[in-house]
Structure 1
Amino acid sequence: MTTAPTFSKEERIVSNQLIETLFEKSNSHSVTAYPLRAVFLKTERHEGSAPVQLLISVPKKRFKHAVDRNRVKRQIREAYRKNKSLLASTVEDGKMLLIAIIWLTDRHFATADVEKKVISLLKQIAKDKS
């Protein structure tokens, strides 16, 4: 019996050190599927961490109300959770993939559209992995 895909605490980027490493200009790569942009980096895996870790950012500049930011983050999280298997074979042993997904517009999109864009980003990352 297979279990439903989940998005656990270990799969989230919470370390400031990892966030700084991810956003260093020299190492990371970026892909865009409007209204989303993904910044990703393949690095050495830390003890007890998941092979793929995700950060979701919806700037306050885009949505002033927390309820709007939370809705968009929920849509992105759900789309990633359902489709994270697209990245399963891209990470070798001893390595980990850090991904930050950033919302670029101040408009809401339907959940189905957000899911299509997240799938597009994940496929581009799987293809572009360095």
Structure 2
Amino acid sequence: MPDPSSHTFSKQERMTSRKLMEQLFAGGHRSMAAFPVRAVFMEMPADSKMAPVQVLVSVSKRHFKRAVKRNRAKRQVREAFRQNKHIICDALRERPGTALAIAFLWLSDSLHDSRSVDASVASLLRRMAEKL
């Protein structure tokens, strides 16, 4: 079983660099979907100051006009990542010097229960680990 302290979602794991976001969406990335979430990810060289995985969660205003619903969807995706990030972290441990930038994008026009969001995020992380 993974270390319980690894089941956190720290500030260092949040993608805050606009430059990194532009690189992720400009090109040189891979994408996969597991409804209701799509993941866009990119490998990058690891830096000693940053976390091995940096995550961005986005829910478009086009899908949910009310911020309450957007925030709920983002919270569900963040929680699903927090609980399943050991899948991708284990794969990255086998490749030292490699870090990963991931953007989770919400695809659906409706809210889904947390169990289905968790299953789709776990599926995406397993598929990403296989690609690495």
Q: Above 0.5 in TM-score?
A: yes
Q: Which residue of 1 aligns with 2:125?
A: 122
By how many angstroms is 1:94 displaced?
2.0
Q: Which moves more between the two structures, 98-107 or 45-54?
A: 45-54
By how many angstroms is 1:4 displaced?
5.9
Q: Which moves more between the two structures, 77-86 or 2-11?
A: 2-11
Which one has the bigger helix percentage?
Answer: 2
SS at match of 2:26: coil
Distance in 2 between the 1:52 and 1:116 partners? 19
2:43 is the counterpart of 1:42: yes
Q: Which residue of 1 aligns with 2:115?
A: 112
Q: Which residue of 1 aligns with 2:96?
A: 93
Unaligned runs of 5+ in 1: none
SS at match of 2:101: strand
Distance in 2 between the 1:33 and 1:90 partners? 20
RMSD over equivalenced CA pairs, Å:
1.3
Distance in 2 between the 1:47 and 1:122 partners? 23
> Which residues of 2 match residues 12-91 of structure 1 at below 5 A?
12-25=14-27, 27-91=28-92
Distance in 2 between the 1:56 and 1:16 partners? 14
Distance in 2 between the 1:104 and 1:93 partners? 33
Distance in 1 between the 2:128 and 2:114 partners? 21
Deviations 1:50-82 (A, max 9, x none): 001100000011101110000000001111101
1:41 alignment partner AA: M
Distance in 2 between the 1:88 and 1:77 partners? 16
Distance in 1 between the 2:45 and 2:83 partners? 25
1:15 alignment partner AA: S
Using structure 2 for the length normalisation, give the TM-score: 0.91
Q: Which residue of 2 aligns with 1:11?
A: 13
2:80 alignment partner AA: A
Using structure 1 for the length normalisation, give the TM-score: 0.93
Aligned residues: 128
Matched residues, percent identical? 43
